[in-house]
Chain A
Amino acid sequence: MTETTFRQALNDALFEEMRRDERVIILGEDVSGGAGGSSGERDASGGIFGVSKGLIFEFGEQRVIDTPISESAIVGAGAGAALAGLRPISEIMFADFVGVCMDQIYNQAAKFRYMFGGKSTCPLVIRTAMGAGMNMGAQHSQTIYPILTGVPGLKIVVPSNAADAKGLLKTAIRDDDPVVFFEHKALYNRKAEVPDGEHLVPFGEAAMPREGDDCTVVAIGRMVLFAEKAIDGLAEQGISCDLIDPRTLSPLDTETIFESLEHTGRLVVVDESPPRCSVASDIAGIVASEAFDALKAPIKLVTAPHAPVPFARELERAYMPGPGDIANAIRELARG
């Protein structure tokens, strides 16, 4: 094991997969950066968050492609290159920009295989940075995955730590279906132990970073960290929880959630997104319709409010569900 940042783990995954398979290419805005600039420095950015740093020097301009600010072309070209035999990674700088290339994601890449009667594969990965907490305002802070999780044909990945980030990105690149891979901006600098050598994490298998008896907590992305904090704080009050990190929202590992509920009977779902038509409400709906008998109490959702992400520090802190909100929800359920 090596202690590695989330950013470096992703960078390692890109290097490993691009070395392993020359069909893997990456394209997006400033993925290298510096083309046409007055400094003459290539790789001036290595991606706005530094995730693709260094790739251009090893793999060259044909495989590390700086694009104009043209999200539809970035995703569409990735989808077309995938149809024609490559395994592209299209980077959308901020998940919020999905709004300007939605057609290429949900009408094109997601549907090719079905519309064409199973004759095509579209091994495209769309990498994108998401999430609030950095005062970036309403158009650079959303989670966006609730909009895409319901689209048949897409796989949705939301890692919560460096080890999973690496293992899931490598799996995504090798997957034959289109995958949207969400990276929480607030996690890039966060370190965790990452297994040495080849590390792959399968899709559709949740992780369980905490185990307990009183409540099942399902948390997504950065919320896993907040839930860990909340759960660890409740231990001294004699409350223990299963904490489930789904890791992939589509496919979703419902079995692990159902199994946990059989001994806890209580469910808290934590999601940084607004509550309506969300992944939190979806998980609650699935449990209510398929595992109702296991429930001893109503399901609690801990989410952002039905509002855009605000700018001011104080407002944004109020927007984000925090460890205190999660602890309160668990306590109410466990004592109810």
Chain B
Amino acid sequence: MTDWEADALLKAYRRMKTIREFEERLHLEIQKGQIAGFTHLYSGQEAVAVGVCEHLADDDYIVSTHRGHGHCIAKGCDVIGMMKEIFGRADGLCKGKGGSMHIADFDKGMLGANAIVGGGPPIAVGAAIATRNAGEGKVTVSFGGDGSCNQGTVFEAMNLAVVLRLPTVFVFEDNGYSEHTGVSYAVGSKDIASRSAGFGMAAERVDGDDFFAVYEGMARAVERARKGEGPSALECTTTRFFGHFEGDPQNYRAKDEVERHRAERDCLKNFVAHVTAEGWLETGELEAVDAEVLALIDDAVGQAQASPPPDASSLTTDVYVSY
């Protein structure tokens, strides 16, 4: 088990809280009509992104999903640049050309969110080939949901990673639903870890509502990867506090399910209870982080609202390096 120091715990908490407040605020801004398009919120799953990414440096890579804001923040992407991107602004992280589902930040080793379920894992395998060839002991994490575990591209990527013994960690976030269809229906093997093990890699299932369980599981996977012992899979069972996308009426969920999960399965509440019970952090320290995060999100929204939209002249730039 990890010996925790207050600074490390506060950093993890700050990232989880930033994700939560970022997403809860987006939910409001979308309802106000401030944001166009299709947005998939990560609230409820924060312990997974942060528990995983706390093991990574800027030059380790991640590949993310349509529900990617949490992964971006956990990997250290600029929150204000992200907010501007989601608002579709010229000075967003991707100049307003990507939007919520296509945020990337190469300085932070964030190789891109991906709006195609199962699109990312082959890309993660390629990044792992690059770091393996460089001999740097770097790790690439492929984030995916439970839905992605049924895509053929993911099978191909997992098998290739085993065949080439690559430093890849396949993180599966089982939030109970593949879009609008329950995991109990859609995943034939019922659990993703055992299926992953069938590809010949180490795999385990952890409680994704518990930051510490994710962190310890990831510690084992990262160690294997950095030592050249090949890929691993980490299945994290969790829940999402919103629909598949914003505007999803969620008719497939029991009326009280989200309310119940917010009360009983909130990974932030679990974290606070754990660190205060252990005496690792004081309530006051956590509240100070809360205030800091709320101010950051307010600032991000304010700056995004004030930023200009992209100029029409950028419509056909960045299609090619040269053409």
**Option from A76, A118, A119 in Cβ contact (under 8 Å) with B153:** A76
Of the stretches B27-35, B98-106, B182-190, the one at the interface is: B98-106
Tell me, rounded to whole Å, the shortest Cβ–Cβ distance linking A92 to chain B: 13
Are B116 and A107 within 8 A (Cβ)? yes
Tell me, rounded to whole Å, the shortest Cβ–Cβ distance linking B267 to chain A: 29
A177 to B319: give the CA distance in the assembly, Å.
9
| B234 interface hit (Cβ, 8 Å) | no
| A88 interface hit (Cβ, 8 Å) | yes
The interface size bin for chain B is: 35 or more
Which chain A residues border B123 with CB–CB below 8 Å?
76-77, 79-80, 83, 104, 108
Which chain A residues border B94 with CB–CB below 8 Å?
115-117, 119
Which chain A residues border B144 with CB–CB below 8 Å?
none
A116 to B128: give the CA distance in the assembly, Å.
20
Are A176 and B122 within 8 A (Cβ)? no
Write the B106-140 contact mask toward A (1 if CB under 8 angstroms, else 0): 10000110101001011111111111111000001
Are B104 and A73 within 8 A (Cβ)? no
Are A118 and B322 within 8 A (Cβ)? no
Which chain A residues border B164 with CB–CB below 8 Å?
65
Tell me, rounded to whole Å, the shortest Cβ–Cβ distance linking B89 to chain A: 11
Which chain B residues border A114 with CB–CB below 8 Å?
97, 318-319
A148 to B122: give the CA distance in the assembly, Å.
20
Tell me, rounded to whole Å, the shortest Cβ–Cβ distance linking A188 to chain B: 28
Are B126 and A77 within 8 A (Cβ)? yes
A152 to B63: give the CA distance in the assembly, Å.
23
| B321 interface hit (Cβ, 8 Å) | yes
| A75 interface hit (Cβ, 8 Å) | yes
Which chain B residues border A121 with CB–CB below 8 Å?
321
Write the A298-317 contact mask toward B (1 if CB under 8 angstroms, else 0): 00000000000000000000
Which chain B residues border A83 with CB–CB below 8 Å?
106, 111-112, 123, 126-127
Are B102 and A86 within 8 A (Cβ)? no
Which chain B residues border A70 with CB–CB below 8 Å?
156, 159-160
Which chain B residues border A108 with CB–CB below 8 Å?
114, 116, 119, 123
Which chain A residues border B124 with CB–CB below 8 Å?
80
| A85 interface hit (Cβ, 8 Å) | yes
> Given contacts A84-B61, A84-B127, A177-B320, is CB(A104)–CB(B122) below 8 Å?
yes
Chain A interface SS verdict (over half): mixed
Are B129 and A73 within 8 A (Cβ)? no
> Given contacts A25-B133, A62-B132, A81-B127, is CB(A72)–CB(B318) below 8 Å?
no
Are B163 and A68 within 8 A (Cβ)? yes
| A120 interface hit (Cβ, 8 Å) | yes
Q: What is the chain B residue whose CB lies nearest that of A152?
A: B319
Q: What is the chain B residue whose CB lies nearest that of A60?
A: B133
Are A77 and B122 within 8 A (Cβ)? yes
> Given contacts A119-B104, A120-B106, is CB(A84)–CB(B157) below 8 Å?
no
Are B321 and A73 within 8 A (Cβ)? no
> Given contacts A114-B318, A119-B104, is CB(A85)–CB(B95) below 8 Å?
no
Write the A39-81 contact mask toward B (1 if CB under 8 angstroms, else 0): 0000000000000000000000011010110111101111111
Are B129 and A65 within 8 A (Cβ)? yes
Are B322 and A115 within 8 A (Cβ)? no
Which chain A residues border B321 with CB–CB below 8 Å?
113, 121, 175-177
A262 to B199: give the CA distance in the assembly, Å.
62
Which chain A residues border B313 with CB–CB below 8 Å?
none
Which chain B residues border A103 with CB–CB below 8 Å?
116, 119, 153
20 A-B residue pairs with Cβ-Cβ distance under 8 Å, sorted by A, are A75-B122, A77-B125, A78-B126, A80-B63, A80-B140, A81-B126, A83-B106, A84-B131, A86-B129, A88-B126, A88-B129, A108-B119, A116-B98, A116-B104, A116-B112, A117-B95, A120-B106, A155-B323, A177-B321, A204-B323
Given contacts A62-B132, A84-B61, A117-B318, 9 further A-B contacts (CB under 8 A): A65-B129, A72-B122, A73-B159, A80-B124, A86-B133, A114-B319, A153-B319, A175-B321, A177-B321
A interface vs B, CB < 8 Å? 25, 27, 62-63, 65, 67-68, 70-73, 75-86, 88, 103-104, 107-108, 112-121, 152-153, 155, 175-177, 204, 251
